Amino acid sequence: MVVLASLASGAIADRVLGFSILDKLFPRAASIVQQKIVNEESDVIDVVKTVGPSVVTVSAVSPKRNIIQFSPFGGFSQGTTGGTSQDIGSGFVVSGDGLIVTNKHVVSNTALAYKVSTSDGSSFDAKTISRDPNNDIAVIKIDPAEASSGGKVLKPVELGDSGNLQVGQFVIAIGTALGEFRNTVTTGVISGLGRGIDAGSVFQGYVERLDNVIQTDAAINPGNSGGPLLNSLGQVIGINVAVAQGANNIAFSIPINTVKDALNIYKQDGKFPAKAYLGAEYQMLSVQAALLNQVPQGAYVVNVAPGSPAEKAGIMRGDIIFKTDGQALTDTNGGLTKIVSGKKVGESLKLTIWRDGNEKEISITLTEARL
């Protein structure tokens, strides 16, 4: 018994000792976690080093004006005002010959001139700006010779594939946060895919429907618009476009495949494809709102643009468009915007409207969208 007890005690001692040794291995586990964190940090650092020089700041330049200044002591003098630049957005280089991608709403004011600045402080005038009427995308062209001055060559980003993204995937955003802090880097994950939002421009005050966008919790602020959303390989998977007001860590990006499709057309034709235009601003009525007001569910017209196809066809404010080409119009089928965007310039669209308790059919010929 004693021997056995000794053996038993020895076995127990061995096991306790074994646990003691395992306890000493915990720092090794912590080291593994620490190594993982270091690797993630290294990934971000490597991506920023690689892609950072390709991310640009877009600035708006106010036009110069001659003014007359009156002196309190009599007389006057002539001077100038304007000509100052304000950082308003971001962008990224997509070709070495000087093509920069940004958001359309960043450069929507055609009365202004625009500049592009790289992370090293080099500044270039925007020679031409092409705006995609179908998406919140624009291409800024800068002078290739100017871009290569002083031995500097623009480095294009690598465009990834947004078709195989996964919720929870790690992402990195780079841009000019708040129009003040250039090349700000933030990280997060993909929070959702295939979102649909109504996005408004901080600078121009218009609202645009954006479908199939990427949702992320990476910190994106006004001024980040047009900047890239990147995966851990440094590939651009989206172009940052909007943030949710009154909420934290809810931002959206246009999938890069949408951008690539638009770029391919632009490079082939030298312009973006024309967009069909209706000219009616609307708000989709929910099922509950329609039932409560005893009206059909559809698009409630809140404004009609002067001279638009909608006005010429007789669409009026307060009309409810509840059928298009004989099909019920609901949010689930993308609303009126998606229906119109699926049409070509010059094609007709049959609308069934509800006005003062009566149905009426109207045929509209869509024209080219005005930018």
Q: Last residue of some domain: 212, 242, 271?
A: 271
Question: Tell me, what CATH number does 361's domain have?
Answer: 2.30.42.10
Q: Which residues are catalytic?
A: 105, 136, 225
**pLDDT value of residue 34:** 56
**pLDDT value of residue 287:** 86
The pTM of this model reads: 0.69
Q: Assess whether 195 and 233 both reside in one domain.
A: yes
Q: Assess whether 192 and 284 both reside in one domain.
A: no
- Residue 69, domain member (yes or no): no
**Strand boundaries in 143-295, DSSP class E:** 158-159, 170-177, 181-200, 207-216, 228-230, 235-243, 251-255, 276-277, 280-284
Q: Assess whether 119 and 47 both reside in one domain.
A: yes
**pLDDT value of residue 249:** 86
**pLDDT value of residue 344:** 84
Q: Assess whether 194 and 330 both reside in one domain.
A: no
Q: Assess whether 190 and 224 both reside in one domain.
A: yes
Supply the range of the domain harboring residue 91: 43-63+83-271
Q: Assess whether 289 and 259 both reside in one domain.
A: no
Q: Assess whether 210 and 151 both reside in one domain.
A: yes
Task: Give bridge partners of residue 299 from the DSSP assignment.
Answer: 284, 321
Q: Assess whether 186 and 333 both reside in one domain.
A: no
Distance separating alpha carbons of residues 179 and 328, to the nearest angstrom? 43
- Residue 226, domain member (yes or no): yes
Residue 184: DSSP 8-state? E
**Number of structural domains the chain divides into:** 2
**Which segments of the chain have a pLDDT < 70?**
1-40, 64-83, 147-152, 200-207, 332-334, 370-371
Q: Assess whether 262 and 340 both reside in one domain.
A: no
Among residues 96, 237, 247, which one has the least CA distance to residue 169?
Answer: 237
Q: Assess whether 220 and 135 both reside in one domain.
A: yes
Q: How high does pLDDT run on average in the chain? A: 81
Q: Last residue of some domain: 227, 248, 271?
A: 271
Residue 285: DSSP 8-state? P
